[in-house]
Amino acid sequence: MTNGEILSNEPLKSGYFLIRFHAPEVCRTARAGQFVHVRIAGLQTYILRRPFSIHSTDGDALTIVYKVVGHGTEHLSRLAPGAVCDLMGPLGRPYTPPADDETPVLVGGGYGSAALYLLTRAAKRRGVLLLGARSEADVILDDRYRDAGFEVRLATNDGSVGIKGLVTDLIAPLLAERAGEKLRFYGCGPRPMLLALARMLNERGLPGEISLDHLMCCGVGACFACVVKVRSEAAPGWEYRRTCKDGPVFDARDVWLDD
Ligand SMILES: Cc1cc2nc3c(=O)[nH]c(=O)nc-3n(C[C@H](O)[C@H](O)[C@H](O)COP(=O)(O)OP(=O)(O)OC[C@H]3O[C@@H](n4cnc5c(N)ncnc54)[C@H](O)[C@@H]3O)c2cc1C
Ligand code: FES
């Protein structure tokens, strides 16, 4: 556990905020796909920590991008620079960085574009971000990927930017264009999107990893509040794994698709 003094806490758009903490210990070992478990300063009535993916590190500054969805995140959005939160992390199993000859294809929805960003640093080859959102107003951080040399392709439900459709609709055309290239997929976003992505990858025998987020309690593997079903060799073909400790990142082949 470490104290994280807030350096800045600014609205981005559509209820998303970008917060920076002074957190040298977290920054030192943070890897793409990991998260920090945050005890939000001054949150008296709801004592549970809240998990947030590590978006980026810059020296000793740790950046998280969060959406205001409830009591905790609403309280967090009102904290000013100088307030100190207790941070646990980096926690969880990170993404496996792509091999030098692999092109990373990042597939995100919701806060997924925040959680996938550190892969732009871990990858040698410049890759592609496929980003899905309800409409243009919900598209966040796409410019950061362009600045990192990634190509960005968008899909929105209302067609206000990119193609009209789902982010997974972007995959077949990409595969056709990049035939012969070694692609490795990384997903983070809403559960239905991730299950659809895992199904596509498994059907085509493509390598990839998926971040399965879940409501969490302890965050360190002790309480089993965060279990998900994953495939297993043993009967009945699946077992429970903790998303905080065994995940949140899982191989797409291990994702349980049959419920
Ligand atoms: C590993 C991990 C990484 C995460 N990374 C991010 C991130 O980078 N940015 C971000 O904005 N959010 C992230 N989340 C989700 C974030 O933890 C929740 O949005 C937050 O805890 C909500 O707290 P609250 O007190 O505001 O909401 P609450 O009052 O607790 O809940 C309000 C609403 O949010 C829903 N909710 C709560 N927790 C989750 C969750 N884990 N997943 C989906 N819905 C949830 C509740 O079901 C409820 O509908 C992550 C979650 C996990 C498990
Ligand atoms: S949150 Fe306690 S085991 Fe995962």
List the pLDDT tens digit at each of the 259 positions of the chain: 789 999 999 999 999 999 999 999 999 999 999 999 999 998 876 678 999 999 999 999 999 999 999 999 999 999 999 999 999 999 999 999 999 999 999 999 989 999 999 999 998 999 999 999 999 999 999 999 999 999 999 999 999 999 999 999 999 999 999 999 999 999 999 999 999 999 999 999 999 999 998 899 999 999 999 999 999 888 788 999 999 999 999 999 998 887 6
Q: Please tell me if the CB atom of residue 52 comes closer than 6 angstroms to any atom of ligand 1.
A: yes
Per-residue pLDDT reduced to its tens digit, 22-44:
999 999 999 999 999 999 998 87
Ligand 1 pocket check: which of 20, 50, 79, 140 to mutate, most ligand atoms within 8 Å of Cβ?
Answer: 50
**Contact call for residues 88 and 21 (beta carbons, < 8 A):** no
Ligand 2 pocket check: which of 215, 218, 228, 230 to mutate, most ligand atoms within 8 Å of Cβ?
Answer: 218
Cα(16) to centroid(ligand 1), Å: 12
What would you report as the CA-atom Rg of the chain, rounded to the nearest whole angstrom? Answer: 18
Q: Please tell me if the CB atom of residue 53 comes closer than 6 angstroms to any atom of ligand 1.
A: yes
Q: Please tell me if the CB atom of residue 69 comes closer than 6 angstroms to any atom of ligand 1.
A: yes
Distance CA 164, CA 135 (A): 9
Ligand nearest to the CA of 222: 2
Q: Please name which of 149, 145, 85 lies closest in space to residue 116, comparing C-alpha atoms.
A: 145
Q: Please tell me if the CB atom of residue 217 comes closer than 6 angstroms to any atom of ligand 2.
A: yes
Q: What would the two tokens of residue 241 be? A: 């794994």
Report the mean per-residue pLDDT for the chain.
95
Nearest atom in ligand 2 to the alpha carbon of residue 222 is 3
Q: Please report, for the chain, how many H helices and E strands are present, in that order.
A: 7, 16
C-beta neighbour count of 167 within 10 angstroms = 27
Q: What would the two tokens of residue 203 be? A: 């059907």
Cα(238) to centroid(ligand 2), Å: 19
Ligand nearest to the CA of 63: 1
Q: What is the pTM of this model?
A: 0.95
Q: Please tell me if the CB atom of residue 71 comes closer than 6 angstroms to any atom of ligand 1.
A: yes
